Amino acid sequence: MANNKKTKSSSKTNKNDASAKSNTNKTNLEKTNTSIKKPTVKLAISKYLQSRNNKIFIANWKMNKKFEDIKSFAFAFNHLLHKDKVIKKSNFLIGVAPTSLGLLPCAGMLKNNVVTVAQNISPEKNGAFTGQLSYDQIHEYNINYALVGHSEVRNYLNVTDKIINDTVKVLIQNNMRPVLCIGDTKEQYDEKKSEKTIALQLMNDLKGISESQIKNVIIAYEPVWAIGSTVASDEWIKNMTKFIRDTLKDMYDEKTAKEIHILYGGSVKVENSPSILSIKGIDGVLIGGASLDHQSFYEIICSCPEYKDIQKIILTKNGQKPLPKNNS
Ligand code: PGA
């Protein structure tokens, strides 16, 4: 009886052992599969991303949002990015430019590698400059990006090309990244002086910036006539981007010009971002009004072709069917 019991229990034990073993094998197999799968997906994505400039998305909040608004934006936006596997695997640079007062709340609350960007800073380190914010002060809080020469700053605060140039220089020298905004006014556009204006701005604002330094400058082409009104046509954006890159090629060299990030800004919205972000030579967007809402900013990011391509790589490698092309 006792023996029987023993035999029974030992056969049970054997069975259990066998099933445990097969489970272990299964787990090992699963492990092997995932460990094979993971680097393959990672490798495929990194190979894909290596062949292009990384995409950049910057929200320019201008003089909007109080503390509670920033808090609710950060909470919702963090959540959206946190659960997005595609963005996690991408090399997108996502930034938010709040008012000066919003810099620290943003830097503290925005997660998932979202960078905080200053809207306007002084090239002076400190001193008698009432009403200004210095590059050194934001740097102290690890805020390393700043818009420089936005048309509203050029217009309302009388910031000249010389100050813009000094600011670009000082940021670069301190391992920070300027987002240099350039753009033609409605008048210049009507008089067909857009290219001349842009060439002059590039030459003046980048004076003394070397080949190795220019790679850290992000250029945002924002036609003043398109800001907060009607987006420029894809054709216009394409031609102006090409003109900017050709000018940079003359100022530096072809390889350097190719690597410089050029963004478009001016009435970018969820409706027009898929086509803007598909324009050859466009490396991202600077968004005003449409970035105030976390969902619309997020959808603009998801509308770039790279997002769809990475999503396809992940799904294909995991044996799932990729979504149809027009499905976001
Ligand atoms: P907008 O602003 O998207 O509201 O036109 C863009 C900007 O000024 O940077």
9-27, pLDDT tens digit by residue? Answer: 444 444 444 444 444 454 5
Ligand 1 geometric centre to CA of 73 (Å): 18
pLDDT of residue 319: 74
**Residue numbers annotated as active site:** 150, 222
Ligand 1 geometric centre to CA of 223 (Å): 10
CB 159 within 8 A of CB 100: no
For ligand 1, whether the C-beta of 223 sits within 6 Å is: no
Can you list the residues of the chain whose pLDDT is less than 50? 1-24, 26, 29-30, 32, 326-328
Q: Strand, helix or coil at 261?
A: strand
Token pair of 247 as six digits:
């000018």
For 145, phi then psi, to 5°, come to -125, 145
pLDDT of residue 321: 64
For ligand 1, whether the C-beta of 222 sits within 6 Å is: yes
pLDDT of residue 294: 98
CB 262 within 8 A of CB 282: yes
With CA atoms as reference, report the closest residue to 203 among 212, 195, 192, 191.
Answer: 195
pLDDT of residue 102: 98
Q: The pTM is what? A: 0.86
For ligand 1, whether the C-beta of 305 sits within 6 Å is: no
For ligand 1, whether the C-beta of 300 sits within 6 Å is: no
Q: How far apart, in whole angstroms, are the C-alpha atoms of residue 174 and residue 122?
A: 13
* 70 Cβ contact partners less than 8 Å away, ≥ 6 residues apart: 98, 102, 105, 106, 109
**Residues paired with residue 96 on neighbouring β-strands, in sequence order:** 59, 116
For ligand 1, atom 6: residue with the closest CA? 288
